[in-house]
Amino acid sequence: MKITIRGLSLALASVGMLTIYGCGGGSSGDTPPTVTSMTVAPSLGKFSKGTSVKLKRIDLTQLASGSIGDDGKAILTFTGYAGPIVVEVLGGADVQYYDEGTKALATFGAGKTLRAVAPAAQAVVGVTALTNAAVVKLEAATGGIAVATVININDANAKVGSALGMGTSSILDAPTLVDIATGKTLDVATVGDKYALVLAALAKIATGTSTAVDVADALARDLKDDQLDGLDSTSTAPTTAIANAPTNAALISNYTAAAADLATATTVAPLVPNPNVSTITASYLSDLGLAKAMFAELRTTLNSFSNGSTGFLDTQATRMNADLNANVAPELAKVASRVGTLAMAMAMFEDGKAYTSNNTFGLMPTTDGSALVRQSGSPDAAWYGYGSFDYCRTDSATGVASKVTCSHFGQDSADRSDPTNPKFKYIVYELTGTASNQYNYTATRYNRSVAENAYGGIAALGTPTLASVPAGNGTLTKTVSGTTMTGLTINGTLPPSATNASNTLSTGVDTIAISAARSALTAANNFRYALSGSVATTNLADASKVVTLSLDNGSYFDSDETASATGGTKVLAVKLVGTAKTTATKFTGTLDVGAFSNNADGFDYSPTSIVFNGSISDTSTGGAGEMLTGKLEAAVADYKLYHSTQPQSGTNYQKATVTFTGTVQAPSRPALKLVVAAVKTGIATSNITVDYSYGTVKITGSGATSATGNTLTLSNQDGVQVVLNSQSAGTVTKSGATLATIGNGMVNYTDGVSESLN
């Protein structure tokens, strides 16, 4: 290649030009002015190709001009202006439009003008009979377009749109352009198509030789006084009806007729014009739009999570309920108390060898032979539910006992489901020593009838009968420090612990592999049992359905053993760290159970505080995965004052509180932050508060339930407030202004639009 000085200089010049203009360089050039492009879509029906269009400043000096193409639109550009825009569509000898009233082309003659005024340039602008009426109205209100403010412009457009039933939709948006080829293609769910039907309704009002242009002119004169009444408001006391002026009845009728011609739906909700728009402003319609957006939000997001049937949380609750009912988890309180009885049996076994003072002499019930006996708690404690009853005996009164038998009656052993046959359902354990501190055990369920006295207490116990329930067996190992047991390991099975809704056992045996380390707490005779291991339960009818509970480090239960000889051991607190799962549902986290107490009658020793902190996952095939994360708290206040033996009243009821704070994650939805609290305030009354948010959306609410109905107040991030009374009627407001009323399951907006509350 031959390189010349001339060629080199041209190359350098080209690079320089690219640097200055193509890459934004240069030392002194000014920034080029911004080019603004607007697409104008005029419609009385679609306009013909070549129709002249102009853009003007608010002072009516011209910015740009052009003409309409085959698609019925014109694209115009201008530079150096950012204020309100006046758009003019000019008539001419060859200008035509499709008249939707006559369904034929009509002339838009010389001297005719269709106008719109926008507060600023917008990408696409419609110019219609409605925008033209807004310009005429603006001129009448301000004395001329040139002095109109942006607020004036927005208010004029808002008033006309509201009068013609456009609600919160902007009349500056482009309508769908209708011509002879349109046919039944309009979808009223879209703003542009509905706008086209409104224009068609106006065109159909024309009669005789009148055209859509005549109706547009009449509409402009009519609305100057904010009244859609068919009267010319150019005089101070209008009395003369405008020829072919639109009225509410005519608009509604012709909108329906236009829909029959052009809409895809066989039936269309009627148009709702507003005959008096004197109070309508752009800011008001903006607030109205916010109210409608709030209900749209409630229907979409909130209903997608919970609507009482098909929401994500509704279906998950149904799924989990069916899943957990089918599998049924073991009741850990029962498991813990049964393990405690086994520990007592081991102590009895070892104590028998040393004839300790904890043992008394008695008789074996089957042989009347001498035996060592140990008792903890009492039958009444178990029957009334405020304690337990354990009764252990050896097979000998000597230190060479080879077997210990223990009967365990727990707090939930009393069965009064059949008033004619009240009974205890309890476990009988047999321990056999295999080596030092090692044992084999069996665990069998028995029933024992109870004869009650006049006060509901125990008068006598019947003969034990074997229950048709799977038995358990396994091994026990304990560790000791001196004469004190410090640890326990159990591997094996126990009789089923879980019942279904009808109090019928619905699972197979509980398979347990648990280690417990025992340590003393500060208070005398109070101990902590640190737990680790697992408990698994199979469905009684379907062994393939299994619930597994894993207990991780940090799990424990605390017990008060002060009155173990008379009222039984009392659980003080339970902390479970780990996972509970079926094949389709998994709970992972920490469960704290505490504040145990008897009620005012001394019965029903129960926890009054339960806190779960963790996550819930849908692990079914194709499931949602982790869906709830957070803290769920339940508590009962003043349980010590509640009388279970007395009728419930305004002062005697369980004052329960439930709160949830966390996130909800549904498939293909943003994570929802949720705070819910419910407080029972009476027998049939409660209060509830809710706060949910995602992105910029935030809904807060409060409500109350009662026998006579429910009340609810909701507010959102835009300041829109919904208030419902106990008859499900109410109002929607913002800054004190009423935007809608609610009644009979409908939201009735002040622009005439109504929609279902659900």
Our CA dihedral for 709, 715, 721, 724, rounded to 10 degrees, sits at: -10
**DSSP secondary structure of 17-34:** HIIIIISS--SSPPPPPP
For residue 294, the model assigns a pLDDT of: 85
Residue 375 and residue 371: Cα distance in Å, rounded?
Answer: 13
For residue 362, the model assigns a pLDDT of: 44
Longest Cα pair distance anywhere in the chain, in angstroms? 130
Summarize pLDDT for 685-727 with one digit per residue, the tens.
Answer: 899 998 988 877 899 999 998 888 889 999 998 899 999 988 8
State CA 122 to chain mean position distance.
Answer: 37
Quick one: DSSP state of residue 278? Answer: T
**DSSP secondary structure of 582-627:** -SSEEEEEEEEEEEEE--TTS---EEEEEEEEEEEEE-STT--EEE
Does 528 score more than 50 pLDDT? yes
Highest mean pLDDT among 22-31, 95-104, 271-280, 458-467: 95-104
Sheet holding 52-56, edge to edge: 62-67, 52-56, 85-90, 113-118
The number of beta carbons lying within 10 Å of the beta carbon of residue 669 is 14
Quick one: DSSP state of residue 255? Answer: H
Buried b (16+ CB within 10 A) or exposed e, 638-662: ebeebeeeeeeeeeebbbebbbbeb
For residue 42, the model assigns a pLDDT of: 97
Q: Is 731 helix (H, G, I), strand (E, B) or coil?
A: strand
Residue 133 tokens read as: 């009426």
Residue 72 backbone class (left: φ over 0; alpha: ψ -120 to 50; beta: rest): left
Residue 251 and residue 254: Cα distance in Å, rounded?
Answer: 5
Does 12 score more than 50 pLDDT? no
Does 2 score more than 60 pLDDT? no
Residue 162 and residue 684: Cα distance in Å, rounded?
Answer: 45
Task: Work out the mean pLDDT of the chain and round it to a whole number.
Answer: 81
Does 95 score more than 70 pLDDT? yes
Q: Is 507 helix (H, G, I), strand (E, B) or coil?
A: strand
Specify the residue for token string 């009393």. 414
Residue 157 and residue 84: Cα distance in Å, rounded?
Answer: 13
Residue 166 and residue 24: Cα distance in Å, rounded?
Answer: 46
**pLDDT mean over 131-159:** 89
Residues 6 or more apart whose CB falls under 8 angstroms from that of 628 comprise 615, 616, 662, 663, 664, 665
* E strand or H helix at 142: helix 129-142
Give me the percent of the chain exceeding a pLDDT of 70.
83
Specify the residue for token string 């106006």. 202
Quick one: DSSP state of residue 272? Answer: -
Residue 429 and residue 404: Cα distance in Å, rounded?
Answer: 8
Asked if residue 519 lies in contact with residue 531, where contact means CB atoms within 8 angstroms, the answer is no
Highest mean pLDDT among 74-88, 175-189, 262-276, 281-295: 74-88
Q: Which residue has the higher pLDDT, 172 or 488?
A: 172
Does 617 score more than 70 pLDDT? yes
Residue 240 tokens read as: 């003369």
For residue 17, the model assigns a pLDDT of: 29
Residue 141 and residue 488: Cα distance in Å, rounded?
Answer: 91
Highest mean pLDDT among 37-41, 265-269, 508-512: 37-41
Indicate the range of 65-69, 135-139, 149-153, 458-462 predicted with least confidence: 458-462
Nearest CA-CA partner of 296 in 729, 718, 738? 718
Asked if residue 571 lies in contact with residue 557, where contact means CB atoms within 8 angstroms, the answer is yes
Residue 360 and residue 371: Cα distance in Å, rounded?
Answer: 8
Q: Is 571 helix (H, G, I), strand (E, B) or coil?
A: strand
Summarize pLDDT for 343-392 with one digit per residue, the tens.
Answer: 666 665 555 444 444 444 444 444 444 566 777 778 888 888 777 888 87
For residue 355, the model assigns a pLDDT of: 41
Domain boundaries, the chain: 37-285
Does 5 score more than 50 pLDDT? no
Residue 278 and residue 161: Cα distance in Å, rounded?
Answer: 13
Residue 674 Cα distances to 314, 321, 530, 658, 693, angstroms: 16, 22, 34, 14, 7
Q: Which residue has the higher pLDDT, 326 or 747?
A: 747
Asked if residue 33 lies in contact with residue 24, where contact means CB atoms within 8 angstroms, the answer is no
Summarize pLDDT for 33-56 with one digit per residue, the tens.
Answer: 678 899 999 999 999 999 999 999
Residue 90 and residue 88: Cα distance in Å, rounded?
Answer: 6
438 beta partners: 435, 477
**pLDDT mean over 570-582:** 84
Quick one: DSSP state of residue 119? Answer: S
Nearest CA-CA partner of 448 in 470, 471, 427, 472? 427
Does 115 score more than 90 pLDDT? yes
Strands 672-680 and 655-664: antiparallel
Nearest CA-CA partner of 392 in 374, 410, 409, 369? 374
Buried b (16+ CB within 10 A) or exposed e, 362-383: bebeeeeeebbbbbbbbbebbb
Quick one: DSSP state of residue 136? Answer: H
For residue 216, the model assigns a pLDDT of: 87
The number of beta carbons lying within 10 Å of the beta carbon of residue 504 is 9
Residue 231 and residue 218: Cα distance in Å, rounded?
Answer: 9
The number of beta carbons lying within 10 Å of the beta carbon of residue 320 is 18
Strand segments (E) across 57-118: 62-67, 74-79, 85-90, 96-99, 104-107, 113-118
Indicate the range of 508-512, 639-643, 737-741 predicted with least confidence: 508-512
Indicate the range of 90-99, 165-174, 453-462 predicted with least confidence: 453-462
For residue 63, the model assigns a pLDDT of: 95
Buried b (16+ CB within 10 A) or exposed e, 1-36: eeeeeeeeeeeeeeeeeeeeeeeeeeeeeeeeeeeb
Amino acid identity at 120: A
Residues 6 or more apart whose CB falls under 8 angstroms from that of 266 comprise none
Does 143 score more than 90 pLDDT? no
Nearest CA-CA partner of 280 in 154, 431, 461, 108? 154
Residues 6 or more apart whose CB falls under 8 angstroms from that of 3 comprise none
Nearest CA-CA partner of 572 in 525, 535, 613? 525
**pLDDT mean over 641-650:** 89
Does 579 score more than 90 pLDDT? no
Residue 427 and residue 449: Cα distance in Å, rounded?
Answer: 14
Residues 6 or more apart whose CB falls under 8 angstroms from that of 1 comprise none
Does 466 score more than 90 pLDDT? no
Q: Is 680 helix (H, G, I), strand (E, B) or coil?
A: strand
The number of beta carbons lying within 10 Å of the beta carbon of residue 286 is 14
153 beta partners: none
Asked if residue 255 lies in contact with residue 165, where contact means CB atoms within 8 angstroms, the answer is yes
588 beta partners: 579, 615
